[in-house]
Structure 1
Amino acid sequence: MKKLTLSSTAIFDPQTAASVRRRGNRESRVPEIIDVSINVLIAAGYAGYTINRVANDAGIRLSTLQHYFSTREALLRATIEEIAKRYFERFRKFAENRSRSPQARLDSIIDDAFADFVGPGLSAGVVESWGLALHESFARDVAVDVQKQFTKLFAQLVGEINPELSTEERELRGALIMSSCQGLVIFLRWCDDDASRLHAFRRAIKVVWSGLGKADE
């Protein structure tokens, strides 16, 4: 191995140092800005969302925020994509847990969804993202892509539960489970039932999803 020699010019070159600083800032700043953006979307709603408020809540100048996200659309796109990613990664973790049966994995997704959807939090960001998608084409495009990802995830799980199903039938049932999951976001957000009724409802959802997975074509 040849001896590596670094000159002081290379080490202390202003442009090189600035590049490293920018890289480090982006790696830390972008996730921080998106976290704040999610909170603003939840608190203010898509109608009241502004990049000025995001910058203010993040404690940075608007020009600094625009260095990373030049427009409101760019920041909102990254924000709703991150919300979807967080849910997808959670559900994917359950779906790909090979130590459990396919049916048990599907049940775990329901349990996780119920625990999250019944309280205030990230699910409110999902609702606001859908509202935004009704008015902004870029948000609608993201929503359509996200729906396809989740549908595919559920279809793969259905295929493991019932390998005899055709690809088309798996996709159809994956879509039905996805539509049920989307409905849960809305239903549980405004549901005022007590814990026992919610528990009964959760068990009923498991029966419905199980039926979609196990039923013959």
Structure 2
Amino acid sequence: MKKLTLSSTAIFDPQTATSVRQRGNRESRVPEIIDVSVNVLIAVGYAGYTINRVANDAGIRLSTLQHYFSTREALLRATIEEIAKRYFERFRRFVENRNRSPQARLESIIDDPFADFVKPGLSAGIVESWGLALHESFARDVVVEAQKQFTRLFAQLVGEINPDLSMEERELRGALIVSSCQGLVIFLRWSEDDASRMHAFRRAVKVVWSGLGKADE
């Protein structure tokens, strides 16, 4: 049997390779390369990640990729920043949805991870980002900054639920929600609980988060 080669683009986004091959300016090409890079990181992990693999899956020469990202570190930094950005923008839409009450917005944020973190795909990129951050200072800087942004975002929502809280207390509770959400990334990915137990667990998380929002200082 002849050697069989599978690219990560075939798994995650069949259109990516075609689109990146098209000539374009920096504004169009850079996001396309980063998108392929995200897929590669998810497919092979940070240990197996190479810029050669990204160039191959993007359908471009290595020299072309290096015109935009000169090193593996530069591309990996942009990649994990993109993963954090996608989740931040996702949660920000929930937080800033003024058509729902602050409490309903908080509960919608809980519902989303229970649907997303159990799937293969982008959530694996979070775990890979954390693994990389254990060994590379540039990745740690990105992860720490993202954690601060999420803390401020959730603190904003806590303040809407309970405006009598001090800014310091809002930040503290925002950080507690972030830590819980980070734990869900791991727990939901490996959980073998059936649907009824998972539903009960989700209700319990809502009770805990609701308590963090409503409790007096």
TM-score after normalising by structure 2:
0.88
Larger radius of gyration: 1
| Counterpart in the other structure of 1:37 | 37
Secondary structure at the aligned position of 2:25 is classed as helix
Question: How far apart are the structure 2 equivalents of 1:49 and 1:181?
Answer: 26
Secondary structure at the aligned position of 1:165 is classed as coil
| Counterpart in the other structure of 2:49 | 49
Question: How far apart are the structure 2 equivalents of 1:131 and 1:141?
Answer: 13
RMSD between aligned residues: 1.0
Question: How far apart are the structure 1 equivalents of 2:57 and 2:42?
Answer: 13
| Counterpart in the other structure of 1:137 | 137
Alignment partner of 1:207 is 2:216: no
Alignment partner of 1:60 is 2:60: yes
Q: Deviations over 1:145-182 (max 9, x none)?
A: 00000000000100000011111100000000000000
Alignment partner of 1:178 is 2:178: yes
Alignment partner of 1:191 is 2:191: yes
Question: How far apart are the structure 2 equivalents of 1:121 and 1:53?
Answer: 18
Secondary structure at the aligned position of 1:98 is classed as coil
| Counterpart in the other structure of 2:84 | 84
| Counterpart in the other structure of 1:114 | 114
The 4+ residue runs of structure 1 with deviation greater than 6 A are none
| Counterpart in the other structure of 2:97 | 97
| Counterpart in the other structure of 1:149 | 149
Kindly state the Cα deviation for residue 113 of structure 1 after the two structures are TM-superposed.
Answer: 1.4
Question: How far apart are the structure 1 equivalents of 2:34 and 2:195?
Answer: 33
Amino acid at match of 1:183: G
| Counterpart in the other structure of 2:13 | none
Question: How far apart are the structure 2 equivalents of 1:155 and 1:28?
Answer: 34
Q: Deviations over 1:28-71 (max 9, x none)?
A: 21111111101110111111110000001111110000011111
Kindly state the Cα deviation for residue 193 of structure 1 after the two structures are TM-superposed.
Answer: 1.0
Q: Deviations over 1:115-147 (max 9, x none)?
A: 110111100000000000000000000001000
Q: For structure 2, which runs of at least 5 residues remain unmatched after alignment?
A: 1-22
| Counterpart in the other structure of 1:7 | none
The within-5 A match list for 1:150-169 is 150-169=150-169
Q: For structure 1, which runs of at least 5 residues remain unmatched after alignment?
A: 1-22
Percent of pairs identical after alignment? 90
How many matched pairs? 195
Kindly state the Cα deviation for residue 24 of structure 1 after the two structures are TM-superposed.
Answer: 4.0
| Counterpart in the other structure of 1:28 | 28
Kindly state the Cα deviation for residue 81 of structure 1 after the two structures are TM-superposed.
Answer: 0.4
| Counterpart in the other structure of 1:14 | none
Question: How far apart are the structure 2 equivalents of 1:118 and 1:206?
Answer: 18
